[in-house]
Chain A
Amino acid sequence: MGPQLSWYLALSAILFTIGAVGVIVKRNVIAMFMCIELMLNAVNLSFVAFSSYFQDVTGQLFVFIVMTVAAAEAAVGLGIIITIFRNRESLDVDDANILKL
């Protein structure tokens, strides 16, 4: 007997939770970015698990699309990070507070 569907969902939820905690706790903008990637991967895992268990290819197609979105996010996000670093000379998110009241 192999692992059940709920095991994969539990793993996915744990990874998502770790990523969400990281986004809140981290201060380095690159580390926050990587935590967001971890959350996307957790969702991908549950997509693939459902797709395999119900023998439907749709889940894996959407994993493909999520990966494309992650790649686009990486390009644009890292461009924003480089621009912030040029203007503020810092990667700390607390230093990018010019819109704060």
Chain B
Amino acid sequence: MSTLLFIIFAGMAIGCAIAMVSQSNPLYCAISLIGVFISLASIYVTLAAPFIAAVQVIVYAGAIMVLVIFVIMLLNVEHSEPRRKRLKFLVPMAVGMAAVLLAETAFILYSVQTSANHFTGNSSNVGLTHSIGEGLFTRYLLPFELTSVLLLMAIVGAMSLARRTTILSATARVIPGAQVLAMHEVNPRAIGDLRPVEAATSEEAAHLLGVEFQSNRGGQE
């Protein structure tokens, strides 16, 4: 029975993973990946790890994939047209690397196979929430606290990365002299025009950009 369940869910996981890699649309990719997560959660249930299975569904399929799908929808990427081939050696390299990894796996499995180790059953309470919480707050308290620090850093990093740059004043955007503006200083969406602006002076550049130029040097001179 458990062998049958393992074969069903392993087949589902591998099939969904292959479908994910072969899809070109990122949305279908994401849905196939959710299939992998669900089948892995089922395997965790058969391994007597119900807490991890629940967390897998809630955190991975629930939170992370929703975030990914949200970003796919937000960026609204149209189906990518076939473009020029890049770096032709990448696909053979991927196949070769996969072959090496699988050969390595087969070798290790051959050694593991000799020391047969059977699943002893659900006699203990290893996978339950109680034992996981006990381990997390006693013996492994330091990794737990480090994880919370990591989450805090992730919050700060995500906010500072995804924050839209504030619309600066005209004098801040138009630099006298070379008129080379960094990409992150020019907000393409705000200007609505992606063409570069060439100008000799700040007034001219501001006129071309369609913003009001205020000289902040006038007071000093």
Least Cβ distance of B114 to chain A in Å? 10
A3 close to B6 (CB less than 8 A): yes
A1-B118, A18-B21 in contact; A6/B67 too (CB < 8 A)?
A: no
Interface SS majority for chain B? helix
Per the bound structure, the CA–CA distance linking A24 and B184 in Å amounts to 29
User: Which residue of the partner chain, among A6, A16, A53, A71, contacts B59 with CB atoms under 8 Å?
Assistant: A71
Encoded as 1 (CB less than 8 Å from any B CB) or 0, chain A from 61 to 101 comes to 11111011111111110111111011101011010000000
A34-B33, A76-B158 in contact; A3/B184 too (CB < 8 A)?
A: no
User: Which residue of the partner chain, among A30, A45, A62, A76, contacts B72 with CB atoms under 8 Å?
Assistant: A30
Least Cβ distance of B56 to chain A in Å? 8
- Within A23-70, which residues are at the interface with B (CB < 8 Å)? 24-28, 30-31, 33-35, 37-38, 41, 44-45, 48-49, 51-53, 55-58, 60-65, 67-70
Cβ–Cβ < 8 Å partners of A25 in chain B:
21, 90-91, 94
Per the bound structure, the CA–CA distance linking A51 and B68 in Å amounts to 30
A61 close to B135 (CB less than 8 A): yes
A10 close to B143 (CB less than 8 A): no
Per the bound structure, the CA–CA distance linking A28 and B75 in Å amounts to 12
A9 close to B112 (CB less than 8 A): yes
Select from chain A the residue with minimum beta-carbon distance to B113.
Answer: A6
B127 close to A21 (CB less than 8 A): no
A83 close to B119 (CB less than 8 A): no
Binding site for A on B (CB under 8 A): 2-3, 6, 10, 13-14, 17-18, 20-21, 23-24, 26, 29-30, 33, 36-37, 40, 43-44, 47-49, 51-52, 55-56, 59-60, 63-64, 67-68, 71-72, 74-75, 77, 80, 83, 86, 90-91, 93-95, 97-98, 101-102, 105, 108-109, 112-113, 116-120, 124, 126-127, 131-132, 135-136, 140, 143-144, 147, 150-151, 153-155, 157-159, 161-162, 164, 183-184, 188-189, 194
Q: List 30 A-B contacts (CB under 8 A).
A: A2-B118, A4-B116, A6-B109, A7-B10, A11-B14, A14-B17, A20-B101, A24-B91, A25-B91, A28-B77, A30-B71, A31-B29, A37-B33, A45-B40, A48-B44, A48-B47, A53-B120, A60-B132, A62-B143, A64-B55, A69-B150, A72-B151, A75-B158, A76-B158, A78-B67, A80-B161, A82-B75, A82-B162, A87-B184, A91-B77
